[in-house]
Homo-oligomer: A and B are copies of this chain.
Amino acid sequence: MDNTGQRESPGRSVSVKDVAAAAGVSLGTVSNVMNRPDIVSATTRDHVLAVIEELGFVRNNAARQLRAGTNASVGMIVLDVRNPFFTDVAQGVETRLGEHRRPLILGNSGQQPERESMYLDLFEEQRVSGLLITPVGRVLPRLRRLRERGTAVVVVDRRIGSREFTSIAVDDKRGGRLAAEHLVGSGRRRIAFIGGPHGLNQVKHRLQGAQEVVDATPGVQLSSVETATMDAAAGSRAVADLLALSRNARPDALFAANDLVALGALQALTLASVRVPDDVAILGYDDIDFAASAAIPLSSVRQPRDELGTLAADMLLELIDNPGTKVRDRVLEPELVVRRSTGG
């Protein structure tokens, strides 16, 4: 009550009880000041607030959550924080959630199921009120359980086949078709797809879309190099493999499953003095900001990533506020952006 504040003993921290004592009110009143300021008289309210400030009281969230049973935070598990596509999406989510005073807790699976699982544990134990996830491993049972517990779940950038969970994604098959049509249309005949693992739906569908177009066009062939991850290094390695092929077996176009892979491929090709787009065209996916400023500006299939983020957040908020909302499955359209790497 009369200590000088500064030298707070590091052991125990100030609790509502201390505040109540110092302010000469009951414990419940202090709580009311923080949670329903309107029902407490102006004078006591101001007084209590002053005491709180003076004592440096900070509510213990664990206790609050335990009693109240709710946690405002939302968890998000992304595939790869180092991929600007995901940070852009996360950014969109974060700002929208921020408007509703909900913190976003970001977890990075890095495409590893174990890490994804670790973050699921964390969020589940934490009882977050909502979860946004771009799944890697077999997480459907976990998600079901989460939802049974009352956690809102939105699957991002991937369509869960069984319309079981609300999801938002960009039409990957369509993106694959756009890509292939463009490459074929500009005269390419031997297309190589680079990306992986094929277990990821994003990858699979983009490849499928391309395959459809190729199948429908005589004289064009599509091969595929499966990678373990989707970063620039993987792109470079894939190109190394392709360059090992005999000259006329080599592809004349690369379709990369994302821009990082494409940029890696571009670098490797340049290093090997292969001319882009003359000898080989390159087409990426996502249209991250860096695609436009690449050595050879990169053509890419653009995903509306801001929209993806804000819409995902909106759907999640809706689901949190109104758990009865029925499952929705929004699909956004990708868009082809032609630049120099494909001869634009």
Q: Are B124 and A108 in contact (CB under 8 A)?
A: no
Q: State how many angstroms separate the Cβ of A19 from the closest Cβ of chain B.
A: 15
| Interface: A42 (CB within 8 A) | no
CB distance from A169 to the nearest CB of B (A): 22
Interface of chain A residues 36 through 64 with chain B (CB within 8 A): 56, 58-64
- Our pick among B66, B82, B121 for the contact of A62 (Cβ within 8 Å) is B66
The smallest C-beta distance from A89 to any residue of chain B, in angstroms, reads: 11
Q: A124-B58, A125-B60, A127-B61 are in contact. Are A82 and B71 (CB under 8 A)?
A: no
A103–B98 CB distance below 8 A? no
Q: Output the nearest chain B residue to A292 by Cβ-Cβ distance.
A: B267
Give the residues from 98 to 128 in chain A that come closer than 8 angstroms, CB to CB, to chain B.
98, 103, 105-108, 115, 118-119, 121-122, 124-127
State the copy count for this chain. 2
Bound-state CA distance A34–B201 (Å) is 36
Smallest CB–CB gap between A100 and chain B, Å? 12
Binary flags per residue of A153-186, CB closer than 8 Å to B gives 1, else 0: 0000000000000000000000000000000000
Also in contact, A106 and B106, with CB within 8 A (given A232-B289, A263-B290):
yes
* Given known A-B contacts A13-B149, A87-B81, A125 and B59 have beta carbons under 8 A apart: yes
For the A-B complex with A58-B124, A103-B122, A105-B106 known, give 14 more contacts whose Cβ atoms are closer than 8 Å: A8-B148, A10-B149, A58-B121, A61-B62, A61-B126, A62-B126, A81-B91, A82-B87, A82-B88, A82-B91, A94-B108, A232-B293, A290-B290, A295-B296
A66 touches B60 (CB 8 A): yes
Closest to A323 in B: B10
Cβ contact within 8 Å between B58 and A125: yes
Q: Which of B63, B84, B263 contacts A82 (CB 8 A)?
A: B84
- Size of A's binding interface in residues, CB under 8 A: 54
CA distance A267 to B263 in the complex (A): 17
Q: How far, in Å, is A154 (CB) from chain B's closest CB?
A: 18
Contact residue among B62, B107, B266 (Cβ-Cβ distance under 8 Å from A65): B62
Q: Is A200 an interface residue (CB 8 A)?
A: no
Q: Are B61 and A63 in contact (CB under 8 A)?
A: no
The residue that A293 contacts in the complex, of B122, B149, B266, with Cβ under 8 A, is B266
Interface residues of A in 60-95 (CB under 8 A from B): 60-66, 71, 73, 81-82, 84, 87-88, 90-91, 94
